[in-house]
Amino acid sequence: MKKDAPLPKGRLIDGIFNGLPYTGPALNLKNDDPPHMQPRLVCEVKVRTYMMNNPDDVRDYEKAMEDVGKGWARISREEMEWVERHETWKIFLRLMNMKYIEPEDLSRVTKEGT
């Protein structure tokens, strides 16, 4: 696209699409774009154990729960166990993170500076 060329009518997709995170290049999406030109929904499974006496684990667990609260992730399995010798909780979490990624057809990608 030339610098002075108008952008296609539609909406700019950069960061959030349909209420979920979008990771990929910025897109100018038209309302009537076919599916191969629209962002694709993917689900990433993450499995992790958190020790609640570790501040980094607490922060990461809180972030995971924020994503669940926003509807960006779903808990597939969660187990909690008291670890007597460390006097803390251990949490096993299997999380499904949902996000959109770039479409198959990248012809509507917006390049910076154009």
- Report the alpha-carbon distance of residue 25 to residue 19 in Å, rounded: 17
Q: Quick one: pLDDT at residue 4?
A: 45
Q: Quick one: pLDDT at residue 2?
A: 42
What's the CA angle centered on 25, arms 24 and 29, to 5 degrees?
105
In a domain, 82, yes or no: yes
Q: Which residue has the tokens 């995170």?
A: 21
pTM: 0.75
In a domain, 6, yes or no: no
In a domain, 67, yes or no: yes
- Report the alpha-carbon distance of residue 2 to residue 92 in Å, rounded: 52
Cβ 76 vs Cβ 93: under 8 Å: no
In a domain, 3, yes or no: no
> Which residue, among 100, 105, 96, 102, has the nearest Cα to 73 in the 3D structure?
96
In a domain, 32, yes or no: yes
Containing 68, the helix (H) or strand (E) segment is: helix 55-70
Q: Quick one: pLDDT at residue 77?
A: 98
Domain that includes residue 78, residue range: 11-101
In a domain, 70, yes or no: yes
In a domain, 1, yes or no: no
Cβ 25 vs Cβ 110: under 8 Å: yes
Query: Who's near 85: CB < 8 A, 6+ residues apart?
Result: none
Q: Quick one: pLDDT at residue 5?
A: 47
Q: Quick one: pLDDT at residue 9?
A: 60
Counted domains in the chain: 1
In a domain, 31, yes or no: yes
pLDDT averaged over consecutive 10-residue blocks of the chain (114 residues)? 49 89 90 89 97 98 97 97 97 97 87 49
